[in-house]
Structure formats: C-alpha cells, structure tokens
Amino acid sequence: QQPVQSPQAVILREGEDAVINCSSSKALYSVHWYRQKHGEAPVFLMILLKGGEQKGHDKISASFNEKKQQSSLYLTASQLSYSGTYFCGTESGGSYIPTFGRGTSLIVHP
Amino acid sequence: DAGVIQSPRHEVTEMGQEVTLRCKPISGHNSLFWYRQTMMRGLELLIYFNNNVPIDDSGMPEDRFSAKMPNASFSTLKIQPSEPRDSAVYFCASSLEPGQRNTEAFFGQGTRLTVV
C-alpha cells in the first residue's frame, strides 16, 4: 500500500525551510527518501530504520517516528538545487524494498 | 561504471504493437527493479529480480506485461499488446542485494513510452 505524502507541492524562496511528510497505514521497518529532478532519474537521499533515528545529508535531514508510522523530511535554508520531486518509500517486512508515495513537488525560486 | 543504461530513451508506438524496453544494470549489482512512473500513481514497482530470478512480480499490471533477465547484465520488459494507458516513464534500477547496508537503488534515465 502506498504511503501518503503531504503536501503535494511546495513553492519556496531560496533560504526558506520546508517539511515534507510521509505516513503509512502499516507499521514500518524502513523509510527511504529519493529526489528526482525534472526529466532525470530518482536519486537516493537516505534511509531511516525503525528506532526513531534521525539522519542528515548536508542541510536535508529526516526523522522517523515508528509509533506514528510516519517520516518527515526537513529542508533547511533551501537552495535552487533542491527543486525537484521528493519521494518517500516505505517498507514493512524487513525486505528493504520500498513502496513509493506519489511524490511531493518542491520548487525553489530565487 | 556508466550507471544503469536503458534503451530506448523514447518510444512512440501504436496501440496493439509489441514494445520491448531494455536495461543493463550496474556491473556487480545482483538486484534489478522495473518501475513505472505516472502522474496519477507516482512510482510503482512492477517486478524485482534477485540473481536473475524474479522474486516479486505482484506489481505487474496484467498478463500483457512480461519481464525477463536472461543474465546478470541484461533485462527486458515487454508489453504485448500495448494500450494507450500503458503510456508512462519506465525506470530500471539496480542495487546490491537489499539489506541494512545496501539500501541505495541506482536508477537509469528511464524510457518514456507513448502509445497512440
């Protein structure tokens, strides 16, 4: 079953922050985040494993709340290069093969 | 390594025709995935191979779709007969066997399929 991402779209100015949420109706084992720039292939950002850990990748970080069955991606001081569609993928059985949501479109303006 | 290589990049075909999409995974990767991307459904996993063996094909929409991996360096996704609703971008991705330490899937550039 697909996770639900919110919001569907975000428009920011350079330097602003954004949060993208990902929630599932099932208990989660791992959450995967990918970014896809327009016309390009999705690129891996990070994975979070159950245990409520938080990870960071430059100014992009994420948290995983097992109890709430959700994950959030935090983009701090956004840059033009952050524009793209962000996909969360969730997995429940320990296979590490995610089912992806429909994506959140992020547009960063100068 | 050149990354995951897909061909063709674009395909336009008439309804009812057979379409074959091709993928060369990254050398050394033993897992291969075919995804379909549409606006309505996002990124859907169609089939997953491990060591050339199909492990999970529950995402294949119907019998018109078939996928093969005859060896570690080549896979095909075939649609026969094609229908307009099959129009989408099809991605192939490869990775080491999924596990706690091998979690990154590398995607090819995709094949944009248009069925008219």
Question: How many Å apart are CA A89 and CA A81, to the nearest integer?
Answer: 22
Mean pLDDT calculated for residue range B7-17: 97
CA distance A1 to chain B (A): 10
pLDDT tens digits for range A21-30: 999 998 888 8
Set of chain B residues whose Cβ sits within 8 Å of the Cβ of A95? 98
A56 has a pLDDT exceeding 70: no
Strands across the sheet containing A54-57: A4-6, A18-23, A70-75, A60-65, A54-57
Please give the residue that has the higher pLDDT: either A94 or B84.
B84
Count of positions (residues) in chain B: 116
> So what's the pLDDT on residue B26?
96
3-state secondary structure B33-46: EEEEEECCCEEEEE
For B11, residues 6+ apart whose C-beta sits below 8 A from its C-beta are B19, B21, B111, B112, B113, B114
- Mean pLDDT over B37-43 rounds to 91
Share of residues in chain B with pLDDT > 90 (%): 85
What are the residues whose beta carbons fall under 8 Å from the beta carbon of A104, sequence distance 6 or more? A5, A6, A7, A8, A9, A10, A20, A85, A86, A87
Mean per-residue pLDDT of chain A:
90
Q: A-chain residues within 8 Å CB-CB of B33?
A: 97
| Statement: residue A76 has pLDDT above 70 | yes
The alpha carbon of residue B66 is apart from the nearest alpha carbon of chain A, in Å, by 20
- Tell me which chain A residues have a C-beta less than 8 angstroms from the C-beta of B104: 44, 47
The band of A107, judged by pLDDT with boundaries at 50, 70 and 90, is: very high
Distance between A16 CA and the closest CA of chain B, angstroms: 26
Band (pLDDT 50/70/90 cuts) for residue A1 is: confident
Top residue of B33, B43, B92, B97 to mutate, by most chain A CBs within 10 Å, is B43
Q: What does the DSSP 8-state code read for residue A44? A: E
Quick check: B107 and A41 CB within 8 A? yes
Residue B92 has pLDDT above 80, yes or no: yes
Q: Which residues of B touch A87 (CB under 8 A)?
A: 42-43
Of A33-47, A83-97, B82-96, the least confident: A83-97
Q: Give the integer Cα–Cα distance in Å for A98 and B31.
A: 14
